[in-house]
Structure 1
Amino acid sequence: MLPALAQFRVEVSGVGVTQLPIAIAPFKGEDASPQKISAIVLADLERSGQFRGVDAAGQSLDEASRPDLSLWRGRGADSLAVGSVSRLADGRWDVRFRLWDVVRGADLGGQSYTVPTADLRLAAHRIADFIYEKLTGERGIFSTRIAYVTKAGNRYTLWVADADGENAQAALASPEPIISPSWSSNGQQLAYVSFESRKPVVYVHNVASGQRRLVANFRGSNSAPAWSPDGNTLAVTLSRDGGSQLYTIPSGGGEPRRLTQSNSIDTEPVYSADGSTIYFVSDRGGAPQIYKMGANGGSPTRVTFSGTYNISPSVSADGRWLAYISRVGGGFKLHVMELATGNVQAITDTTADENPSFAANSKLIVYATKLQGREALMTTTLDGKIKARLAGQAGDIREPDWGPFQKQ
């Protein structure tokens, strides 16, 4: 396991243009809590690329205090969050906070949460979500979850973790490979490919109960599951009729329906957020490129034209952006395309990037890469200016997928 202090080690690199300066005062009573709420909130906000922390050391304030806002103006803060953490008689924790607009002197509201010890981090992420939404007008994604796979020795594990990579829980462990985890739009299920029967088959796994069902185990290879937004359908790649082609299949299992009819390899399908379009990878032009077609099939149109090898498409929920991996020289780099214009930007300086996945608010991308020779999970803003390394379980980390907004 990672050391308990891992939450303080958010390695944020780069500077955004317009970051909001915010002070998160140490929460009253948090020294007695197993989680330092104020540090988790600040780390979340900084990782978003939208905020810059202002030193709040030496101040003892809680949600009932009327802070001296001129002091915080002097420190350069535009906003201030204060709060408290206290243990209740039944062992749960009472977490409260309030947000102040330092410039206008306005109380922007607050919330309180009563949570078991295991949910203290979640309470901190919800506070960060509240602050993010109040100050940017956009929904925060800090209480969402990510899934990823590790390989340690000959053991593969599928993890579900907080959006900062902490608090990872093993959903499945196997001596055979697990690949391609994909969240359902309600955040309750994961589809993935397991090789436990010595060939790739697709399962759907209920995250809360751990129960799973086999949905695709046809002759040949069953791979690359992707959920439709309504949760009723999976797009998959099957080789049951010869080459690798795209099919849809009911998410409860059933008979597949073939979407593509080509002599090439068609794989890595992903739905647009409105469910009308499927993006996928095909080598029908001679090398892997990204194409799109209607969700019920039809004639595909090519989407990527720069570079000779483009794979692993991910489409943002707002429909504006396509993230993918492009081979550049001998390396693999994360690229982002604005779909309306076709403009493309490479946004990393690493050369072993894999498997991008958008946050539910379309503002961040998680991906796997190698840093200083070690596997790492990273998040980046869409312009590549702010990157953060996430905490992750030890071992070879890969295949991240960012889950949807959590139901409150």
Structure 2
Amino acid sequence: MLRRSLVALPLAAALPSALAQFRVEISGVGATQLPIAVVKFRDEEKAPQPVGAIVRADLERSGVFRNLDTSGVVLDEGSQPAMSDWRGRSADALVGGSVTRLADGRFDVRYRLWDVVKGRDLGGQSYAVPAGDLRLAAHRIADAIYEKLTGEKGVFSTRIAYVTKGGGRFTLWVTDADGEGGQSALASPEPIISPAWSPDGRELAYVSFESRKAVVYVQEVASGKRRTLASFRGSNSAPAWSPDGRQLALTLSRDGGSQLFVMGRDGEGVKRLTSSGAIDTEATWAPDGKSIYFVSDRGGSPQIYRVPAGGGNAERVSFSGSYNISPAISPDGRTMAYISRDGGAFRVQVMDLASGTARAVSDTKDDESPSFAPNGRLIIYATRDGGRDVLMTTTTDGKIKARLVSTQADVREPVWGPYGR
């Protein structure tokens, strides 16, 4: 038996608007972190969102930066800071900005980035946005700073999806990458499971039991419009999109047993992928689309296997430990995150696929559903910590963690969306 249920129960079609509130607690110290000073944006206290504070939190959560104290400093994008003073504060980079309300009700958000070590102005940008997009503007500023200083794309303006249970209701949320600023996509008095983003970020696949059996649906994120993808005899579960968005892999029991199938995004062209007497489930595609990783108990206990996307012989991938589930593959295809049972604990492990070397990157005991950020630098997962259900992000080396503590009772099954929104 696999640890997670593969069926869901009836799901309401309502789309109530609400916000999921989190408190973010960051812990750990990376081997090398760039000291950065992000000064409070001028007049940000007059705006509905603390733009500078959001930028600071994003950069710190990445694990790449160490925020310096800027209390009492007055600085904006038009300033000419004394670089020698900031070098004296041990800053490598400096950020200043402002938030100004415009006559039409929008907000003009501006920032500027300086390289303190080289004494260079690295430029900036301005955004004119409605109040509802202030958080997004802050995340995009953090993305721009991250990319300018690291050469890699940031993921702060991407989204995540996850499921909560509170007050007897289950809700599928779509939020910013920090768990804030979102709305409920679905709400039901019954469970919702297995959300999966399409590669373009426009749709979510998920499982429901509205017809008294497990059925896979695909829903447009923006409009809420949805369609039935798989409603065959028996159970339909665990959808996973192909990298090009043209196909989905899923687990069907229509022919007896639970086996992997592949079908077109319109539900046509159904093809069986595995044929075993075991439970084959939790499919996830390799980024090149050539193979599919999945979980099977064909060897007597749940382990992770890989099969060609066109069908063929499956090969075992996980060998350390007697219980390994929930594979997630990094965007570059080199690393696999998964859940491994270590004694009585379930922890996130990260494996180098070339060497097979694996290591635990969490220090909690009830982890589930790891998912890579689209730049491959962070992993989000659900767990219990301090007696509460929380979402966690960790750097892939496990050194920097952010705990997203929800005001809602139960937070589960996070999945990180792609670039774009």
2 CA distance for matches of 1:184 and 1:72?
44
Mapping for residues 85-164 of structure 1, pairs under 5 Å? 85-164=99-178
Q: Select 1:237's aligned residue among 251, 256, 262.
A: 251
2 CA distance for matches of 1:364 and 1:246?
28
1:386 corresponds in structure 2 to 400
Mapping for residues 18-97 of structure 1, pairs under 5 Å? 18-97=32-111
1:284 Cα deviation (Å)?
0.9
2:309 corresponds in structure 1 to 295
The 1:319–1:252 alpha-carbon spacing in structure 2 relative to 1, beyond 3 Å, is same
Q: Select 2:27's aligned residue among 4, 9, 13.
A: 13
Cα RMSD of the aligned pairs, angstroms, is 1.3
The one-letter code sitting in structure 1 at the alignment partner of 2:266 is G
Greater RCO, 1 or 2 (C-alpha within 8 Å, sep 6+): 2
The one-letter code sitting in structure 2 at the alignment partner of 1:380 is T
The one-letter code sitting in structure 1 at the alignment partner of 2:54 is I
1:406 corresponds in structure 2 to 420
Deviations 1:208-260 (A, max 9, x none): 01101010010100000000011111100000000000001111222421000
2 CA distance for matches of 1:272 and 1:109?
38
1:246 corresponds in structure 2 to 260
The one-letter code sitting in structure 1 at the alignment partner of 2:263 is I
1:363 Cα deviation (Å)?
0.3
Q: Is the 8 A contact 1:147 1:159 kept in 2?
A: yes
The one-letter code sitting in structure 2 at the alignment partner of 1:77 is A
Report which stretch shifted further, 330-339 or 391-400. 391-400
2 CA distance for matches of 1:123 and 1:277?
37
1 CA distance for matches of 2:143 and 2:377?
13
Q: What is the SS of the residue equivalent to 1:10?
A: strand
Matched, 1:266 2:280: yes
The one-letter code sitting in structure 2 at the alignment partner of 1:329 is G
2 CA distance for matches of 1:153 and 1:217?
30
1:199 corresponds in structure 2 to 213
The one-letter code sitting in structure 1 at the alignment partner of 2:219 is H
The 1:117–1:80 alpha-carbon spacing in structure 2 relative to 1, beyond 3 Å, is same
Matched, 1:166 2:146: no
1:197 Cα deviation (Å)?
2.4
Q: Is the 8 A contact 1:176 1:198 kept in 2?
A: no
The 1:143–1:237 alpha-carbon spacing in structure 2 relative to 1, beyond 3 Å, is same
Q: Is the 8 A contact 2:20 2:179 kept in 1?
A: no
TM-score (norm 1): 0.97
Q: Select 2:242's aligned residue among 228, 247, 254.
A: 228
Q: What is the SS of the residue equivalent to 1:333?
A: strand
1:59 Cα deviation (Å)?
1.5
2 CA distance for matches of 1:297 and 1:175?
39
Q: Is the 8 A contact 1:152 1:394 kept in 2?
A: yes
Q: Is the 8 A contact 2:20 2:407 kept in 1?
A: no
1:327 corresponds in structure 2 to 341
Q: Select 2:289's aligned residue among 275, 283, 292.
A: 275
The one-letter code sitting in structure 1 at the alignment partner of 2:346 is F
1 CA distance for matches of 2:127 and 2:151?
22
2 CA distance for matches of 1:21 and 1:10?
20
Q: Is the 8 A contact 1:201 1:217 kept in 2?
A: yes
Identity, % of aligned pairs?
66
Deviations 1:294-318 (A, max 9, x none): 1111101100000001000000001
The one-letter code sitting in structure 2 at the alignment partner of 1:295 is A
1:396 Cα deviation (Å)?
1.0
How many residues are paired up? 404
Matched, 1:186 2:200: yes
1 CA distance for matches of 2:188 and 2:384?
24
1:318 corresponds in structure 2 to 332
2 CA distance for matches of 1:308 and 1:223?
24
2 CA distance for matches of 1:272 and 1:139?
21
Q: What is the SS of the residue equivalent to 2:375?
A: coil
The one-letter code sitting in structure 2 at the alignment partner of 1:29 is D
1:392 Cα deviation (Å)?
3.6
Deviations 1:18-68 (A, max 9, x none): 000000011111110111111100100100000000111112211111111
Report which stretch shifted further, 234-243 or 69-78. 69-78
Q: Is the 8 A contact 2:378 2:394 kept in 1?
A: yes
1 CA distance for matches of 2:229 and 2:274?
20
1:217 corresponds in structure 2 to 231
The one-letter code sitting in structure 2 at the alignment partner of 1:314 is A
The one-letter code sitting in structure 2 at the alignment partner of 1:403 is G
Q: What is the SS of the residue equivalent to 1:193?
A: strand
TM-score (norm 2): 0.94
The 1:119–1:252 alpha-carbon spacing in structure 2 relative to 1, beyond 3 Å, is same
Q: Is the 8 A contact 1:2 1:393 kept in 2?
A: no
The 1:3–1:303 alpha-carbon spacing in structure 2 relative to 1, beyond 3 Å, is closer
1:385 Cα deviation (Å)?
0.7
Q: What is the SS of the residue equivalent to 2:84?
A: helix
